[in-house]
Amino acid sequence: MSDNKRILSGMRSTNPQLHIGNYEGALRNWVDLQNQGYDMFCMVADWHALTTMYENPHEVSVNAREVAKDYIAAGIDPAKSPVFIQSHIKEHAEFHLLLSMITPLGWLERTPTYKEKQQDLGSAEREPYGLLGYPVLQTVDILLYKPFGVPVGRDQAPHLEIGNDIAQRFNRLYNKDVFQPYKYMIPEDENRAKLPGLDMRKMSKSYDNGINISDTEDETAAKIKSAFTTPTKMRKTDPGIPEGCAVCQYLKIYSPNWEQQWEEDRNGERGCMQNKKELTEIINEYFRPMRERRAQLDDATIEDILRDGAKRAREVASATMDEVRSAMGIY
Ligand code: ATP
Ligand code: MG
């Protein structure tokens, strides 16, 4: 067993609010790891957000503070776990440039998330050079902190693989074991690893199809009311297909009685309205303490937390950069 207890992860600041998919896929594990005594480094990936939001850089910056609030609301204790903004650590930019030189283009062009994002952007004119390098920048975020593991959702698995491949390539090219492979910490439960959105696509900040950690109780109720259910279940007595119903998917995570609820849904013994009503209550109860904690956080406190987090993160990142330059013979 390694004695390295450092963990690194991050979220893009494409939106001021994180959703329950971000929570189930990653943030919930961060809090657990922190509470188990790991050194949890919590980054807000503002530069990553720019790959698709380059027209609104100021908004990305404002969002970054709000994302940090969600981390803390969910149970991250900034005294234990540094919370910091990616762009505050300039080492990420330097290392990104260096790794760009050693990453084969084919590895990036093959990435499934790249192809998806390309499609989302629509035209080649709108597609920035930086988008292709997304996994390189993510590799930098990880390697600078030399973590034992990286807790993320299932969609990030291809990026994590590229990251370990780039690390190996670096070690081989410069003949020095600077980086050890890190572990992928993806929830075992597939539903949590890739939570469906209210429309049954992947829940994503940029699709606006999520229930947010910081939504009000009324917002939560309205969203659940509009959620996708079994399309052929018009009446309570029609049979449901819980596997394809967003509400049933959330019940499976949050409701202790989900098995019975699924059974009744399938057998036409309960209607979608009842599912929605029960789910709303359970979700609002689950997230109430986080929402209350978030409401207590003011902007000045967050700036102090981020300054302190950046200082602690920079110490680690700059030590790694010294090793990187030395391995490459750059002085
Ligand atoms: P965007 O649309 O801006 O990419 P996102 O919702 O996909 O936003 P990211 O910032 O890309 O969020 O990812 C943050 C973390 O949340 C990552 O670890 C990612 O794997 C995880 N994550 C994102 N969406 C889901 C989801 N639907 N289910 C589980 N985990 C998710
Ligand atoms: Mg994403």
Name the closest ligand to CA 208: 1
pLDDT beyond 90 at 23: yes
If you average pLDDT over residues 39-65, what whole number do you get?
97
pLDDT, tens digit, 9 for 90 and up, residues 213-256: 999 999 999 999 999 999 999 999 999 999 999 999 999 999 99
Q: Would you please indicate which residues are annotated as catalytic (active-site) residues? A: 117, 202, 205
Instruction: For the domain made up of 215-293, give the CATH fold.
Output: Tyrosyl-Transfer RNA Synthetase (1.10.240)
The torsion defined by the Cα of 170, 172, 178 and 179, in degrees rounded to 10, comes to 70
Distance 190 CA to ligand 2 centre (A): 17
**CB distance 159 to ligand 1 below 6 Å:** no
Is the Cβ–Cβ distance between 46 and 66 less than 8 Å? no
H or E stretch at 82: none
pLDDT, tens digit, 9 for 90 and up, residues 110-165: 998 888 888 877 777 778 999 999 999 999 999 999 999 999 999 999 999 999 99
**CB distance 202 to ligand 1 below 6 Å:** yes
Is the Cβ–Cβ distance between 153 and 19 less than 8 Å? no
Distances (CA, A) of 196 to 13, 144, 150, 280: 20, 32, 22, 16
Residue spans per domain, the chain: 3-194+299-328, 215-293
Distance 184 CA to ligand 2 centre (A): 16
Specify the pLDDT at position 118: 82
pLDDT, tens digit, 9 for 90 and up, residues 66-85: 999 999 999 999 999 999 99
**CB distance 24 to ligand 1 below 6 Å:** yes
Is the Cβ–Cβ distance between 26 and 10 less than 8 Å? no
**CB distance 13 to ligand 1 below 6 Å:** no
Q: Using the atom order of ligand 1, give the atom closest to the CA of residue 155.
A: 20
Residue nearest atom 20 of ligand 1, based on CA coordinates:
153
Model pTM score: 0.96
Distances (CA, A) of 48 to 56, 192, 207, 323: 13, 23, 17, 25
**CB distance 156 to ligand 1 below 6 Å:** yes
Distance 233 CA to ligand 1 centre (A): 30
Distance 22 CA to ligand 1 centre (A): 5
pLDDT, tens digit, 9 for 90 and up, residues 250-302: 999 999 999 999 999 999 999 999 999 999 999 999 999 999 999 999 999 99
DSSP state of 8: E
Q: Which one of 3.40.50.620, 3.30.70.1150, 3.40.50.11440, 3.10.20.600 gives the CATH number of domain 3-194+299-328?
A: 3.40.50.620
**CB distance 51 to ligand 1 below 6 Å:** no
Q: Using the atom order of ligand 1, give the atom closest to the CA of residue 12.
A: 10
pLDDT beyond 70 at 187: yes
If you average pLDDT over residues 39-43, what whole number do you get?
98
**CB distance 199 to ligand 1 below 6 Å:** no
Name the closest ligand to CA 201: 1
Residue nearest atom 22 of ligand 1, based on CA coordinates:
22
Residue 2's pLDDT band (cuts 50, 70, 90): low
**CB distance 204 to ligand 1 below 6 Å:** yes
Distance 185 CA to ligand 1 centre (A): 14
Distance 210 CA to ligand 1 centre (A): 11
If you average pLDDT over residues 45-53, what whole number do you get?
95
Is the Cβ–Cβ distance between 312 and 161 less than 8 Å? no
Q: Using the atom order of ligand 1, give the atom closest to the CA of residue 151.
A: 18
Give residue 317's Cα distance to chain centre. Answer: 21
Is the Cβ–Cβ distance between 14 and 205 less than 8 Å? yes
